[in-house]
């Protein structure tokens, strides 16, 4: 077997690329869940982001406008979810699942005319001197801007949740919505805002797939990574820094199995493609084995509808 | 002293009830004013109006000479009216300081706030560490958090709704010290409690409500607990008669029961042992969250334990599920009426079936016997005076007291050999509570063994033959209840299980 094709630096670069859409979507969902809402529609919001981002980018010939468009698109479908669950108090699980199906269908409809087109390219970072450094330049200074943004977003979400009053209020709504209400906070609007943020993040994650990672539009191209993002939130026990770890771990396994397939290992490719998902399930089982610890980190009101009453 | 709050003719109606009817009284600056009344007398509605949670239909309030009509609690707090709720509005997974910040309208920086919390809490003898998680605090400490949150906003009037119902006697003393200090500093306190001895010891004035009206006022120091109780109910107080205690042989034995809690803030049971005899009512006291839920779950069969840890009439049942235990004669009544003891959206008849099907033979080979189910449900309703239009009514439509009578009656009427109940009269008015207690006592007289877990010490002292305390998951040695003093019990509840030496049962 020839292992020389496994260039570690190239693999890490690929890994980061594979992990970034998951990381973005997971961060958004993390904030949503911290506010006490379970939105299972991440996959649907991602695919909508992928298609709206793609359309806006090709029409305006600007990848950045496309990314902005994907965030708006993701946030708009999230608004449907928010309206249904927060104002009409529909069941969050059922509504989230419906949102995924709805998003997949709507995206296929919107993207019908955009099959087989190439989107405008997103330039990579190129800093004179730094980006040309051997290995270090490639590992740290040669990514596209969204990757740097995603890392920045991790820090920003952490800072917001743990160091600002707004973040404290958001967490309070997720811990005990009745108490938050009795202290005079508008639980419904806070959750609605969090849901919109989650939609925007998932949308950007989707656009990363269609504009940078693939880059083209095909139906169903997010291929289940929205579900992985949901699992990563649990894996991260609702902590932003651990979401990076989870997303990069998943990205790493994805890249590794692709490389092994390329090497022509004698295991069926189907088994290799399963591994990232199987590993995710195994990790989730290990994480939840200790009931006490699992429920310690979870927002106590996660997935529960809030009824204001006196 | 001058008048702080003048309440003039407040009225509030809900569909079908006049909760408050033309209520008028005054609270002086710096006085501790008691509000007395049975459940449903209108105390909660009244204080909610003062705090801005409910708007009165008519009437007015004058605070400090100014018209006072808070549309929201925020405005009440701005005018110096604060409230400590019976059910705390705290966030378990957040720290003390974070909880306090959330309750303040203008919050200082973290550092400043922590310093303030330390200062104020020490000043009033309620020490608190701002960095601890609420979930790790005892109930008494949680209440301190609520009080400190109010005190940091410099209130003129502090409303306290049943503040002592969850405290140990020693914690009550500490709280009273704090309240007296506050009153000396000119803060008025509106104190709601049904514990008349406490009101006698603490309060300067009392206003008595009955059926939404002010029926009397008094100076508690000049009254007896009995005379105040009679003002509340408007009639003679019926005193329970003492019963004879002749225990038979042991039926339920718990041997070194240990169980890890599944709740991150729960308490693990540590080596709990007891022996319950025929005809015995054993009271288990202790502050909530000291292992009561875990003990109940292990006895009902919701959580399985080692086989030998629970022995019923010589049979090791630790690994049997709830229905198998029911078959053998061990029945349980959990604390939470809606959602645990009864399914809220199901009819009373269906709820009767849920626990009664085994012992009452309500099903045959998987098919329901509807006539028998209805008969059983009607029997419960009749025997326990459950006020309901029919047995087809959903459980959640009943008032707390009526549903509690139903769920306790359902177990009692299955003639259990051992009955375990948790908080049998929690949130139930005095008449219903008395009926439930009487039924439990009659059950014991007929030879069943009863384990009553409760936080209401007065209730336990009234009912129990023997008494033990759960503290931090460990249990004290059961003692004869008669003659135990509140001080001894308080020490036991504080965790000094061996501290109180008394005649052992």
Over the stretch A148-188, which tens digit does the pLDDT of each residue have? 999 999 999 999 999 999 999 999 999 999 889 888 889 99
- C-alpha B464/C-alpha B451 separation (Å) is 9
DSSP letter assigned to residue B223: S
Do the chains contact at A300 and B92, CB–CB below 8 Å? yes
In terms of domains, do B209 and B348 share one? Answer: no
- The answer to whether A179 faces chain B, any CB pair under 8 Å, is yes
Confidence of residue A36 (pLDDT cuts 50, 70, 90): very high
Surface of A (229-268) touching B: CB under 8 A: none
Over the stretch B142-151, which tens digit does the pLDDT of each residue have? 888 988 888 8
Which of A172, A184, A293 is the closest to B91 by Cβ?
A172
SS3 B479: strand
**Sequence spans of domains, chain A:** 3-297
Which of A165, A175, A182 is the closest to B92 by Cβ?
A175
pLDDT tops 90 at residue A23: yes
Tokens matching residue A206? 């989707």
pLDDT score of A2: 59
In terms of domains, do B211 and B312 share one? Answer: no
pLDDT tops 60 at residue A1: no
- Of the residues B233, B260, B286, the one at which a domain ends: B233
pLDDT tops 50 at residue B504: no
pLDDT score of B246: 80
Do the chains contact at A183 and B102, CB–CB below 8 Å? yes
Question: Across all residues in chain B, what is the average pLDDT?
Answer: 87
In terms of domains, do B348 and B214 share one? Answer: no
Task: Tell me if B500 is assigned to some domain.
Answer: no
Who's near B103: CB < 8 A, 6+ residues apart?
A183, B89, B149
- The answer to whether A5 faces chain B, any CB pair under 8 Å, is no
Residue B407's nearest CA partner among B380, B372, B437 is B380
Do the chains contact at A300 and B54, CB–CB below 8 Å? no
Interface mutation target, options B102, B112, B134, B262, chain A, most CBs of A under 10 Å: B102
- The answer to whether A310 faces chain B, any CB pair under 8 Å, is yes
Q: DSSP string spanning A206-232? A: HHIIIIIIS-SB-TTTTTTHHHHHHHH
Task: Tell me if B502 is assigned to some domain.
Answer: no
pLDDT tops 70 at residue A294: no
Task: Tell me if B174 is assigned to some domain.
Answer: yes
Who's near A258: CB < 8 A, 6+ residues apart?
A14
pLDDT tops 50 at residue B169: yes
* CA distances from residue B213 to A181, B35, B217, B432 in whole angstroms, order as listed: 30, 12, 12, 21
pLDDT score of B499: 42
Over the stretch B284-314, which tens digit does the pLDDT of each residue have? 988 777 889 899 999 999 999 999 999 999 9
- Of the residues B176, B201, B233, the one at which a domain ends: B233
pLDDT tops 50 at residue B443: yes
Q: How far is A84 from chain B (nearest CA, A)?
A: 23
Residue B474's nearest CA partner among B253, B272, B300 is B272
**CATH class for the domain made up of A3-297:** mainly alpha
Mean pLDDT computed over B16-20: 82
ipTM score: 0.81
Task: Tell me if B239 is assigned to some domain.
Answer: no
In terms of domains, do B158 and B298 share one? Answer: no
Q: Are B257 and B442 in contact (CB under 8 A)?
A: no
Confidence of residue B5 (pLDDT cuts 50, 70, 90): very high
Of the ranges A39-43, B15-19, B52-56, B112-116, the best mean pLDDT one:
A39-43
Element (H, E) at B375: helix B370-383
Tokens matching residue B272? 């709990």
Task: Give the range of the structural domain holding residue B301, as residue numbers without chain letter.
Answer: 250-493
- Of the residues B233, B265, B285, the one at which a domain ends: B233
Q: How far is B18 from chain A (nearest CA, A)?
A: 17
Tell me how far the alpha carbon of residue B278 is from its chain's centroid: 28
Q: Are B97 and B133 in contact (CB under 8 A)?
A: no
* CA distances from residue A163 to A2, A156, A168, B104, B374 in whole angstroms, order as listed: 50, 10, 8, 17, 58
Task: Tell me if B351 is assigned to some domain.
Answer: yes
pLDDT tops 70 at residue B505: no
Do the chains contact at A176 and B89, CB–CB below 8 Å? yes
Q: How far is A183 from chain B (nearest CA, A)?
A: 6
In terms of domains, do B217 and B308 share one? Answer: no
Which of A172, A178, A310 is the closest to B102 by Cβ?
A172
Mean pLDDT computed over A234-244: 91
- C-alpha B334/C-alpha B312 separation (Å) is 19
Percent of chain A with pLDDT strictly greater than 90: 62
Strand partners, B368: B363
Which of A168, A183, A300 is the closest to B89 by Cβ?
A183
- The answer to whether A165 faces chain B, any CB pair under 8 Å, is yes
Do the chains contact at B92 and A176, CB–CB below 8 Å? yes
Do the chains contact at B53 and A310, CB–CB below 8 Å? yes
Confidence of residue A293 (pLDDT cuts 50, 70, 90): low
DSSP letter assigned to residue B290: S
pLDDT tops 60 at residue A98: yes
pLDDT score of A200: 98
Mean pLDDT computed over A118-130: 86
Do the chains contact at A300 and B260, CB–CB below 8 Å? no
In terms of domains, do B197 and B332 share one? Answer: no
The CATH code of the domain that includes B324 is 3.40.50.300
Mean pLDDT computed over B453-482: 87
Higher pLDDT, B264 or A21: A21
Question: Across all residues in chain A, what is the average pLDDT?
Answer: 89
pLDDT tops 70 at residue A5: no
A–B: how many Cβ contacts below 8 A? 57
The helices-and-strands tally (H runs, E runs) of chain B is 16, 23
Confidence of residue B243 (pLDDT cuts 50, 70, 90): low
Q: Are B12 and B45 in contact (CB under 8 A)?
A: yes
Do the chains contact at A168 and B102, CB–CB below 8 Å? yes
Q: How far is B103 from chain A (nearest CA, A)?
A: 6
Higher pLDDT, B352 or B505: B352
pLDDT tops 70 at residue B1: no
Name every chain A residue with its beta carbon within 8 A of the beta carbon of B264. 292-293, 295-296
Higher pLDDT, B406 or B425: B406
Percent of chain B with pLDDT strictly greater than 90: 45
Name every chain B residue with its beta carbon within 8 A of the beta carbon of A184. 72-74
Over the stretch A183-228, which tens digit does the pLDDT of each residue have? 888 999 999 999 999 999 999 999 999 999 989 999 999 988 999 9
In terms of domains, do B283 and B365 share one? Answer: yes
Q: Are A44 and A97 in contact (CB under 8 A)?
A: no
Name every chain B residue with its beta carbon within 8 A of the beta carbon of A183. 89, 102-103
pLDDT tops 60 at residue B374: yes
Mean pLDDT computed over A125-142: 82
* B145 burial type by CB count under 10 A (0-12 exposed, 13-18 middle, 19+ buried): buried
**Domains held by chain B: number:** 2
């Amino acid at each position: 077997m020839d292992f020389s094709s496994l260039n570690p630096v190239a693999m890490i670069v690929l890994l980061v690329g594979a992990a970034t859409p998951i990381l973005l979507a997971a961060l958004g969902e993390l904030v949503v869940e911290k506010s006490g809402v379970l939105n299972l529609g991440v996959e649907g919001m991602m695919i909508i982001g992928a298609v709206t981002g793609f359309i806006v980018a090709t029409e305006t010939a600007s990848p950045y406008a496309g990314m902005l468009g994907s965030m708006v698109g993701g946030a708009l479908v999230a608004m449907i979810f928010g309206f249904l669950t927060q104002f009409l108090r529909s069941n969050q699980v059922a509504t989230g699942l419906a949102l995924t199906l709805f998003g997949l269908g709507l995206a296929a409809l919107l993207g019908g005319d955009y099959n087989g087109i190439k989107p405008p390219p997103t330039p990579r970072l190129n800093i004179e001197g730094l980006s040309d450094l051997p290995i270090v330049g490639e590992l740290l200074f040669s990514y596209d801007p969204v990757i740097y943004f995603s890392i920045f977003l991790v820090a920003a979400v952490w800072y917001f949740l743990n160091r600002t009053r707004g973040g404290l209020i958001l967490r309070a709504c997720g811990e005990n919505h009745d108490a938050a209400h009795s202290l005079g906070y508008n639980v419904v609007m806070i959750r609605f805002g969090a849901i919109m943020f989650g939609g925007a993040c998932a949308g950007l994650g989707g656009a990363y797939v269609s504009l940078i990672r693939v880059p083209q539009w095909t139906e169903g191209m997010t291929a289940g990574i929205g579900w992985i993002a949901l699992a990563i939130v649990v894996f991260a026990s609702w902590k932003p820094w651990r979401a990076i770890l989870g997303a990069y771990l998943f990205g790493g396994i994805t890249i590794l199995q692709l490389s092994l397939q390329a090497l022509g290992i004698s295991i069926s490719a189907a088994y290799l493609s399963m591994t990232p998902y199987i590993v995710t399930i195994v990790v989730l089982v290990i994480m939840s084995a200790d009931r006490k610890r699992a429920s310690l980190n979870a927002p106590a009101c996660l997935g529960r509808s809030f009824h204001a009453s006196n | 002293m001058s008048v702080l709050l003048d309440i003039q003719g407040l009225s509030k109606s809900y569909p079908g009830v006049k909760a408050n009817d033309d209520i008028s009284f005054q609270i002086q600056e710096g006085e501790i004013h008691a509000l007395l009344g049975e459940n449903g007398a209108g105390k909660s509605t009244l204080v909610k109006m003062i705090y801005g949670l409910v708007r009165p239909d008519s009437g007015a309030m004058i605070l400090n000479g100014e018209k006072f009509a808070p549309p929201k609690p925020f405005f009440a707090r701005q005018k110096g009216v604060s409230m400590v709720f019976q059910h705390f509005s705290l966030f378990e997974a957040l720290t003390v300081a974070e909880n306090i910040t959330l309750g303040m309208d203008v919050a200082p920086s973290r550092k400043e706030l922590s310093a303030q919390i330390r200062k104020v809490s020490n000043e009033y003898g309620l020490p608190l560490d701002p960095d601890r998680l609420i979930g790790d605090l005892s109930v008494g400490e949680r209440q301190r958090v609520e009080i400190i949150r109010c005190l940091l906003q410099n209130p003129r009037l502090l409303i306290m709704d049943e503040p002592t119902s969850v405290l140990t006697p020693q914690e009550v003393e500490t709280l009273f010290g704090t309240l007296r200090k506050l009153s000396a500093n000119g803060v008025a306190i509106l104190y709601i409690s049904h514990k008349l001895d406490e009101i006698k010891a603490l309060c300067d004035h009392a206003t008595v409500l009955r059926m939404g009206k002010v029926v009397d006022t008094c100076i508690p120091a000049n009254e007896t607990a009995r005379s105040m109780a009679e003002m509340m109910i408007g009639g003679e107080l019926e005193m329970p008669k003492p019963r004879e205690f002749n225990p038979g042989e042991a039926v339920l034995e718990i041997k070194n029961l240990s169980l890890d809690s599944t709740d991150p803030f729960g308490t693990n049971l540590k080596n709990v042992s007891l022996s319950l005899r025929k005809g015995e009512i054993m009271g288990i006291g202790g502050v909530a969250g000291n292992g009561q839920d875990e003990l109940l779950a292990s006895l009902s069969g919701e959580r399985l334990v080692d086989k030998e840890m629970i022995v019923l009439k010589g049979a090791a049942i630790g690994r049997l599920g709830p229905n198998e235990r029911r078959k053998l004669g061990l029945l349980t009544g959990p604390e939470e009426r809606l959602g645990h003891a009864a399914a809220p959206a199901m009819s009373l008849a269906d709820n009767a079936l849920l626990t009664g099907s085994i012992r009452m033979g309500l099903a045959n080979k998987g098919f329901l016997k509807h006539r028998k189910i209805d008969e059983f449900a009607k029997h419960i309703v009749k025997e326990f005076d459950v006020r309901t239009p029919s047995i087809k009514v959903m459980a959640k439509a009943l008032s707390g007291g009526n549903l509690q009578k139903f769920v306790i009656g359902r177990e009692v009427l299955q003639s259990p050999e051992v009955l375990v109940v948790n908080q049998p009269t929690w949130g139930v008015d005095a008449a219903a509570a008395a009926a439930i207690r009487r039924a439990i006592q009659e059950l014991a007289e007929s030879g069943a063994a009863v384990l009553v877990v409760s936080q209401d010490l007065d209730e336990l002292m009234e009912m129990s033959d023997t008494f033990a305390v759960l503290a931090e998951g460990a249990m004290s040695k059961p003692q004869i209840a008669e003659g135990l003093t509140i001080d001894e019990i308080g020490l036991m509840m504080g965790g000094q299980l061996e501290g109180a030496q008394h005649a052992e049962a």
